[in-house]
């Protein structure tokens, strides 16, 4: 099966399962690309009972406005955070420096599966990029998504959304992330450009057209820069307009 045929097959399967329950893993091509605001936008546009999970949050000593709190502030939806670490580093590094233990990826998988029993949409926001280590055993968000793909009930769909930057370098970073997912048998649902400048340059304009071409994935949404500074009513009203 070609990549294009695989993509079409996956899109049909997702569309068929849309009315039912789903777990959406939100990963990024790097840190700082807009995963948290993209997660909030997905929460704002998802019907039914929605919960957002942040398995590991780092950098809490320097930034008390944590990702889960930002999502709740913007959307009002329920949020859960399983581990919080002081230093703004990869979770396994931050945990070693702090001298604390953090849950293994398998524990996150179990808790997410349990949430899927009681919610229509469970959104899982990663930390940094796809291969950042979330535990002391080398487990990554890719491992978490792969485990969910084989253990979720048949009536719960797994989707993976890749959040990417708009500017130079994004084509390479996005292709690498998508390639790593496909190598594990996971076909992403699509891309979200996490922060679109008010005055895009040549690189941004070209990338918006080239991202779906080089990845064979749709751009699901383009989020304007500064969207995280909106108040909740304006964010909730605006979020649907950012999606294709």
Note the pLDDT of residue 64.
67
pLDDT in tens, 64-83: 678 999 999 999 999 999 99
Q: Please, which pLDDT band fits residue 6 given cuts at 50, 70 and 90?
A: very low
User: Could you give the percent of the chain with pLDDT greater than 70?
Assistant: 92
Helix count and strand count (H, E) for the chain: 9, 7
**Can you tell me whether residue 61 is helix, strand or coil?**
coil
Among candidate residues 21, 22, 35, 54, the one labeled active-site is 54
Mean pLDDT of 129-156: 96
What kind and span of H or E run contains 163?
strand 156-164
The answer to whether the beta carbons of residues 152 and 23 sit under 8 Å apart is yes
Q: Please, which pLDDT band fits residue 20 given cuts at 50, 70 and 90?
A: confident
DSSP conformational letter for 100: -
Q: How far is CA 184 from the centre of its chain?
A: 17
Domains of the chain as residue ranges with CATH: 3-122+129-242 (3.40.50.300)
Is the pLDDT at 14 greater than 90? The verdict is no
Note the pLDDT of residue 244.
83
What is the model's pTM? 0.90
pLDDT in tens, 209-233: 999 999 999 999 999 999 999 999 9
Q: Is position 16 annotated as part of the catalytic site?
A: no
Q: To 10 degrees, the CA torsion angle through 42, 43, 46, 50?
A: 150
Is the pLDDT at 13 greater than 50? The verdict is no
Instruction: Give the other-Cβ count within 10 Å of 59's Cβ.
Output: 18
Distances in whole angstroms, Cα of residue 93 to Cα of each of 27, 104, 126, 133, 217: 19, 14, 16, 8, 33
């Amino acid at each position: 099966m070609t990549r294009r045929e695989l993509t079409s097959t996956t899109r049909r399967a997702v569309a068929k399962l849309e009315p039912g329950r789903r777990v959406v893993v939100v990963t990024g091509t790097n840190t700082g690309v807009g995963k948290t605001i993209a997660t909030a936008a997905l929460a704002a546009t998802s019907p039914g009972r929605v919960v957002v999970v942040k398995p590991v949050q780092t950098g809490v000593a320097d930034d008390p406005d944590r990702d889960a709190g930002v999502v709740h502030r913007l959307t009002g939806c329920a949020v859960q955070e399983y581990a919080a670490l002081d230093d703004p580093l990869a979770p396994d590094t931050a945990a070693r420096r702090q001298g604390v233990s953090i849950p293994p990826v398998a524990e996150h998988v179990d808790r997410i599966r349990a949430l899927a029993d009681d919610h229509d949409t469970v959104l899982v926001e990663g930390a940094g990029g796809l291969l950042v280590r979330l535990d002391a055993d080398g487990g990554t968000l890719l491992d978490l998504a792969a485990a969910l793909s084989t253990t979720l009930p048949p009536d719960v769909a797994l989707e993976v959304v890749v959040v990417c930057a708009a500017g130079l370098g994004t084509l390479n970073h996005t292709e690498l992330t998508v390639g790593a997912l496909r190598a594990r048998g996971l076909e992403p649902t699509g891309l979200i450009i996490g922060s679109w400048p008010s005055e895009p340059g040549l690189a941004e304009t070209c990338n918006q057209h080239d991202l779906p071409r080089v990845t064979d994935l749709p751009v699901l949404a383009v989020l304007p820069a500064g969207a995280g500074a909106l108040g909740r009513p304006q964010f909730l009203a605006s979020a649907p307009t950012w999606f294709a």
